[in-house]
Structure 1
Amino acid sequence: MAVSERRGLARWSPAEWGQWLLLLLLCGGCSGRIHRLALTGEKRAVIPLNSFGFYTNGSLEVDLSLLRLRLQETDEKVPLLGFSLTRVRSGSGSVRSYSTRDPQECPLQKNSTNFLVLFLINTKDLKVQVRKYGEQKKLFISPGLLQEAPSKPGLPKPEHVVTPKVDSGTNTTLDKDKSKPTVSQGDQQVQGLSGQDKELVMGLGHLNDSYNFSFHVVIGSRAEEGQYSLNFHNCYNLVPGREHPFDITVMIREKNPEGFLSAAEIPLFKLYLVMSACFLAAGIFWVSVLCKNTYKVYKIHWLMAALAFTKSISLLFHSINYYFINSQGHPIEGLAVMHYITHLLKGALLFITIALIGSGWAFVKYVLSDKEKKIFGIVIPLQVLANVAYIVLESREEGASDYGLWKEILFLVDLICCGTILFPVVWSIRHLQDASGTDGKVAVNLAKLKLFRHYYVMVICYVYFTRIIAILLRVAVPFQWQWLYELLVEVSTLTFFVLTGYKFQPAGDNPYLQLPQEDEEDLQVEQIMTDSGFREGLSKVNQTASGRELV
């Protein structure tokens, strides 16, 4: 059955693959910065829900609409369920601060400075205990969701508080003595927890066999600004082999004063728009250069132009996506699909172009060797897989069960592709080194060798900066400056494009492209032998096509 399924996939047309990709996008669980996560039969002890950078007056809203546990009544005195809110320190990236703990020790059962706030769910007493750590003077926590925007200008904003859903006859317990301050809003009592209070008790709704409650957090001052991580803990599943499956449905809405983007993502709209214009200008300039030098223009030159334009369009759609996410909390599906398609094409064109230039195709030879054909047979499918992994990753929530798997697949495949495209360049350099002292064309081969050595260094620097240095920069800088990672990646890519075009530009005075092609090599060797007097008594023997091919 598996073999027949693979054969059926191999016969799919491009239109069928496009329909499958569109279905994958539309079925994704991510809807921008308004997250909705629904898990069934989950067995993980810790679910990383999301990470977000907040400025002053930024807000986090969490609505746990369903929590269904499949376990018997327990006599645990300390709650084993709940949410944790952690501030990620600068320089620690997204590493969990409690990762060095005993894997079977419940992080909710001990006071820890690693956590900022704990929301402990007590299913026996139907209450949620909010516990704060450290000194947070302006971090306000209250039950329910935040107020909605006014329906008409000039009208006061109505308070929108979600109350827990309870069974008829079931009482919801609230500890009013510990829920300060209490603000009157009409006939409702809205309880809040400021930084000076250490504990708040909220009601836990119980409907049928599920639990529900909601809360929101407001960043009240610059001292509380930072990158926050929200996790859900189920300590009943800490022991391997004794997990208890549970169902959870949660909505998370994060917002800054300027919109729904995280602090590190706010500049990305303008950044991608500017870089799109830069790549467009580079593509137009490159086409003008090709039109002025039609005699020495090769097919790979037009492929380089197509790559620049595809990159520009991909960045344009990416910028528009961030604009709508910032204003509405979610992207426009049609524009998101166009971004993913252009991103896929850009990734495939980039690695194909690098591999073709590295193998010397069109500049040195017109036929690829068997080893180079195998490289293309590996790189192209891997690039398709890497782009599919990126699309799946973007369409999934961080707390989804397979999010970590797709993230590892994307990293591994991208690393393999970056290493694989170096082989054609290395083979070309090795062949030119061997040929420089054996076929009599020392000057020609040395010029080729210099060209490909420079290009090899360029590829190494490009991969090094975009995969290593850029990632280290994102980990080291403060949360509001992490957009510099994207800036470094895009500037490095543009620089790589410009340098590649400069070295391989079809200009008559370019020393790198003054490399004889086909019969010109024979004429140059014949001229050298004539000038040196070595041709006396010698006759020219025609070379076969295979003899001229570089392997």
Structure 2
Amino acid sequence: MDPAHRYLYLLLLLLTGCRARIHKLTLKNETRFSVDLNTFGFYANGTLDVNLLSLRLPEQVVDYNLYPVGFTLSRSRVNGVLSYTAEETETCPLTLTKVTSNEPLILFLIDIKKLSVNVRALGDQDNLLIAKPEAPKGLRKTREDPAVKPNAPVKPATTKPDNQLTQKGDDAASVEQSRTAPMVEASKVEENEFQLEKLKHVTLALDKVNDSYNFSFHMVVGLLAEGLYSLKFHYCQNRMPGIKFPYSFAVEVTEKNPGGYLSAAEIPLSRLYIGMAGVFFTAAMVWVYTLMKHRYSVFKIHWLMAALAFTKSTSLVFHSINYHFINTEGHPIEGWAVMYYITHLLKGALLFITLALIGTGWAFVKYILSDKEKKIFMIVIPLQVLANVAFIIIESTEEGSSEYYLWKEILFLVDLICCGAILFPVVWSIRHLQEASSTDGKAAMNLEKLKLFRHYYVMIVCYIYFTRIIAILLKVTMPFQWQWCYEFLVEVSTLIFFVLTGYKFRPASNNPYLQLPLDEEDVEMDEVVTESGALEGITKVKKTCNGRDRQKESTL
């Protein structure tokens, strides 16, 4: 298998576990004291289903009354700010008895000795909890202690040999029936509805199968309690310094709003992306029309800018389709997800390559990159590939897995490095123009180019600063249902940046790149910039003061 097919196969493997709104997470030998399972914005009548399939606790003796284990479901004031304060987070959240704010906080404390889950509702609640309550003591039996043990000897058959097979089958069936009888009997306890506005303490049933524990609950969000909720698993013993006790569990989490599986902040994204895709496609068509109109002033990099605009539009289309299927199915369709990730990777690579080429003045000012500029490309392009791989892994990994935060930090760091590295070619071009304006006698023309590069530098800095810092600060301060505005601001700022860049470097006669210098005296001047893209290779121009060409020499 060649490298290209190997990388594509790896991408497909990653996408088989694409993160969706129906979450399935399995952790083995985990030592973290807190696991962030998911964050989701609920509207009124939104539902949350949690099914703990198998919780295996360490064999070491742990005082679970002092160091409890269980789940917390907390509403955030804003994104990333939980309902309990910084002082309260110094201790295990499962030990809280009150909160300083009125934000709803629900604690699920697992008691393995009593085989129960103690639910405590703190703050203002109007949520509805639907779960199986704790069974009476007479019914609280497990598969580990059945009325008839699985390994009990079967009474031999006394019938004729011809009936031995039938008798053995009947005996085996009776053993299996007796093995599952307590569970069937216990399952007759129907699920009850608990209004957490009135009931602050509820006890649910905890089942034990061999050495693993499991329980489930269903919650309906009330009108007053709608907001951004964070579901976490806590093993408080591992908060203490020293030996970390490993534990394992598997959990299924399904979140849903009345309109579909998307979080409140993500519901408008499908329409937003398809609308912005149309805007970028329109801008790309206008750009192509401009290139065709001024075809004799077009350089290769102009077509690269057009390819970037079309790729951006295509990526947004697949992004919109991806969100549509997540909203309707609860998970992405792999084919559409693959197309989105491929176009997203191409868009990211084209963006930074185009910015770097414009910053170096390639095609406009010169056709050969210096060694320093080549090194920038050797650094930025692999880093962009790494950043896109990190993005794909983040999208295909559950939030609760330990790799999720590792790749998230890698993506953030690599993105900052790429944004910083992309500024170096522009700075070098500005310095080169400053030196040239004072040595070659063409100060007026070089100052025009210098002004253009300074504007371009400011544009890049503003774009990076806004999309990486300002928009994120706005996101964490917005109400949960308006956090989609972060994506809107990023896309609009990207569109403005593309339009301004195209306007500054448009193929027109009044572009400072394409203007031939006019001196007051009839002198011969060597000019690096060419008159048009159609005349690449012209490096020497001689003009009179009235602007007419006297001599052109080609170095081809």
Asked if structure 1 preserves the Cα contact closer than 8 Å seen for 2:32 and 2:235, the reply is yes
Asked if structure 2 preserves the Cα contact closer than 8 Å seen for 1:167 and 1:208, the reply is yes
Tell me the CA shift for residue 237 of structure 1: 1.5
Asked if structure 2 preserves the Cα contact closer than 8 Å seen for 1:193 and 1:199, the reply is no
Q: Which residue, out of 210, 213, 220, partners 2:212?
A: 210
Asked if structure 2 preserves the Cα contact closer than 8 Å seen for 1:40 and 1:247, the reply is yes
Asked if structure 1 preserves the Cα contact closer than 8 Å seen for 2:75 and 2:83, the reply is no
Matched residue, 1:523: 541
Tell me the CA shift for residue 530 of structure 1: 12
Matched residue, 2:327: 326
2:39 equivalent to 1:13: no
Q: Which residue, out of 32, 44, 56, partners 2:20?
A: 32
Of 66-75 and 97-106, more deviation after overlay is shown by 97-106
Q: List structure 1 runs of 4+ shifted beyond 6 angstroms.
A: 528-531, 542-545
Report the 3-state secondary structure (helix = DSSP H, G, I; strand = E; otherwise coil) of the residue aligned with 2:41. strand
2:97 equivalent to 1:111: yes
Q: Which residue, out of 48, 58, 62, partners 1:60?
A: 48
**1:138-287 alignment runs, 5 A limit:** 138-143=126-131, 166-167=142-143, 169=145, 188-221=190-223, 223-287=224-288
CA deviations over 1:92-145 (Å, ceiling 9, x no partner): x21456573588732212324176100000011100000011121x21112169
Tell me the CA shift for residue 186 of structure 1: 9.8
Of 56-65 and 288-297, more deviation after overlay is shown by 288-297
Distance in 1 between the 2:207 and 2:487 partners? 43
Asked if structure 1 preserves the Cα contact closer than 8 Å seen for 2:277 and 2:316, the reply is yes
Report the 3-state secondary structure (helix = DSSP H, G, I; strand = E; otherwise coil) of the residue aligned with 1:513. coil
Distance in 1 between the 2:132 and 2:274 partners? 38
Q: Which residue, out of 70, 80, 102, partners 1:94?
A: 80
Distance in 2 between the 1:48 and 1:164 partners? 31
**1:389-428 alignment runs, 5 A limit:** 389-428=390-429
Q: 1:273 to 1:189 in 2, by over 3 A?
A: closer
2:369 equivalent to 1:384: no
Report the 3-state secondary structure (helix = DSSP H, G, I; strand = E; otherwise coil) of the residue aligned with 2:26. strand
Q: 1:246 to 1:450 in 2, by over 3 A?
A: same
2:20 equivalent to 1:41: no
Asked if structure 1 preserves the Cα contact closer than 8 Å seen for 2:29 and 2:248, the reply is yes
**1:490-529 alignment runs, 5 A limit:** 490-514=491-515, 517-518=529-530, 522-524=540-542, 527=544
Tell me the CA shift for residue 481 of structure 1: 0.4
In our comparison, the structure showing a higher alpha carbon Rg is 2
Matched residue, 1:463: 464
Question: Which sections of structure 2, spanning at least 5 residues, go unmatched?
Answer: 134-138, 148-186, 517-526, 531-536
Asked if structure 1 preserves the Cα contact closer than 8 Å seen for 2:14 and 2:393, the reply is yes
Tell me the CA shift for residue 410 of structure 1: 0.5
Report the 3-state secondary structure (helix = DSSP H, G, I; strand = E; otherwise coil) of the residue aligned with 2:94. coil
Q: 1:165 to 1:275 in 2, by over 3 A?
A: farther
Q: 1:52 to 1:285 in 2, by over 3 A?
A: same
Tell me the CA shift for residue 14 of structure 1: 2.2
Asked if structure 1 preserves the Cα contact closer than 8 Å seen for 2:73 and 2:230, the reply is yes
Q: Which amino acid aligns with 1:446?
A: L
Q: 1:269 to 1:166 in 2, by over 3 A?
A: farther
Q: Which residue, out of 44, 54, 77, partners 2:65?
A: 77
Asked if structure 1 preserves the Cα contact closer than 8 Å seen for 2:75 and 2:82, the reply is no
Q: Which amino acid aligns with 2:429?
A: S
Tell me the CA shift for residue 187 of structure 1: 7.7
Distance in 2 between the 1:98 and 1:379 partners? 42
Q: Which amino acid aligns with 1:39?
A: L
Q: Which amino acid aligns with 2:371?
A: D
Report the 3-state secondary structure (helix = DSSP H, G, I; strand = E; otherwise coil) of the residue aligned with 2:55. strand
Distance in 1 between the 2:515 and 2:313 partners? 31
Q: Which amino acid aligns with 1:61?
A: D
Distance in 1 between the 2:309 and 2:36 partners? 37
Of 514-523 and 341-350, more deviation after overlay is shown by 514-523
Please give the TM-score of this superposition, normalised by the length of structure 2.
0.83
Cα RMSD (Å): 2.8
Q: 1:252 to 1:530 in 2, by over 3 A?
A: closer
Please give the TM-score of this superposition, normalised by the length of structure 1.
0.83
Asked if structure 1 preserves the Cα contact closer than 8 Å seen for 2:445 and 2:512, the reply is no
Question: Which sections of structure 1, spanning at least 5 residues, go unmatched?
Answer: 1-10, 146-162, 172-184, 532-539, 546-551
**Equivalent pairs, count:** 489
Asked if structure 2 preserves the Cα contact closer than 8 Å seen for 1:265 and 1:483, the reply is yes
CA deviations over 1:444-466 (Å, ceiling 9, x no partner): 21121111111111111111111
